[in-house]
Amino acid sequence: MCGAPTREVHEIIPISHGEIALAGRNRVPLCGHGSAENHHDWAHRIGTRVSIPILQEKRAEFLRKKWVRRGERVS
């Protein structure tokens, strides 16, 4: 999310919301313990109503950049 090393793989939609939480598309890498920003703690602190759409967009941005680096066209 911020460029710091990934320390946590975070479920965007909490596991308490059912089986979707276990899907790969529901996961996002976040910096965690020991990093300056600590986005893992941030996601818990601000609550799911705020963090879910932000984390979904950040995951989509990451995937778009990854495919562009590989030379793939992304729509």
d(CA 39, CA 29): 10
pLDDT at residue 33, rounded to an integer: 63
pTM for this structure? 0.68
Distance CA 50, CA 45 (A): 10
φ/ψ (deg, to 5) at 14: -55, 150
Taking only the tens place, the pLDDT of each residue in 14-43 is 877 777 777 888 888 777 666 556 777 888
What contacts 8, CB < 8 A, 6 or more positions away? Answer: 29, 30, 31, 32, 33, 40
